[in-house]
Amino acid sequence: MTHKPTTLMVYSRNAIKNFVPNVNGVYYLRGIADENSLYPIYYIGRAEKGRLREELLDKFYTNEWLDITYINYIECDSKKEAKQLQKFEILRHKPKYNLQKEEIHAFVESPALHFTR
């Protein structure tokens, strides 16, 4: 069972260390409002085996994308659930940093998703 999304947090080391639990989950890296969205989703990632905090800290320290400003996440009860939710959300939102050619191909070729909210 997935839980409700958390409220937005500023994308910072302190926010991640102090407010993100180590759980299975799907996280959303977001930008500042633009003409299309209030908080556009730029990347949707997944953390398994209770590594949500570490996964977000790794992303933060590599500092790949300078336009990420906010984060939020959805806690999942299992790795399988997190994987299905991530696939569903990438297909639904089409975030710009997930839209690498190999990643799109992998999602399109995967079996139909049977995920309900």
> Does 117 fall in a domain?
no
> Does 52 fall in a domain?
yes
Query: Residue 35 has what pLDDT?
Result: 82
> Does 26 fall in a domain?
yes
| 117 confidence band (pLDDT: 50, 70, 90) | very low
| Per-residue pLDDT tens digits for 12-69 | 999 999 999 989 999 999 999 878 778 999 999 999 988 999 999 999 999 888 899 9
On whether the CB atoms of residues 71 and 12 are closer than 8 A, the answer is: no
pTM over 0.75? The answer is yes
> Does 3 fall in a domain?
no
| Per-residue pLDDT tens digits for 83-111 | 999 999 999 999 999 986 455 555 555 55
CA distance 109 to 3: 27
> Does 30 fall in a domain?
yes
Number of domains within the chain: 1
Q: Residue 27, Cα to own-chain centre: how many angstroms?
A: 3
3-state SS, one letter per residue, for the chain:
CCCCCCCCEECCHHHHHHHCCCCCEEEEEECCCCCCCCCCEEEEEEECCCCHHHHHHHHHHHCCCCCCCEEEEEECCCHHHHHHHHHHHHHHHCCCCCCCHHHHHHHHHCCCCCCCC
> Does 15 fall in a domain?
yes
CATH number of domain containing 57 = 3.40.1440.10
Predicted confidence (pLDDT) at residue 81 exceeds the cutoff of 80:
yes
> Does 82 fall in a domain?
yes
**Range of 98's domain?**
9-109
